């Protein structure tokens, strides 16, 4: 199961993907909070989770 958290602010989206909670394995990425950057966020999520 994939756990993804997104902290939304006016300027940016701070994203965290928990790969393995028991081992503390996580990946982070920051995206600008602009409509034209949302496809990049979706691409990153799909690449990380395979879903």
For 2-30, write each residue's pLDDT tens digit: 789 999 999 999 999 988 888 888 899 99
In sequence order, which residues have a C-beta less than 8 Å from that of residue 19 and are 6 or more positions away?
Answer: 25, 26, 27
**Across 26-36, average pLDDT:** 95
Is the pLDDT score of 49 beyond 90? Answer: no
Strand partners, 21: none
Number of domains in the chain: 1
Q: Which residue has the tokens 């990049």?
A: 40
Are 15 and 28 in contact, with CB atoms under 8 Å apart? yes
Say if pTM beats, i.e. exceeds, 0.85.
no
Radius of gyration of the chain (CA): 11
What are the beta bridge partners of residue 17? 4, 27
For residue 27, what are the domain limits?
A: 3-49
Contact 5, 15 (CB under 8 A): yes
């Amino acid at each position: 199961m994939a756990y993804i958290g997104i902290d939304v602010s006016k300027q940016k989206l701070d994203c965290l993907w928990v790969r393995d909670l028991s081992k503390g394995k996580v990946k982070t990425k920051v995206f600008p909070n602009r409509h034209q950057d949302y496809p990049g966020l979706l691409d990153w999520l799909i690449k990380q989770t395979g879903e």
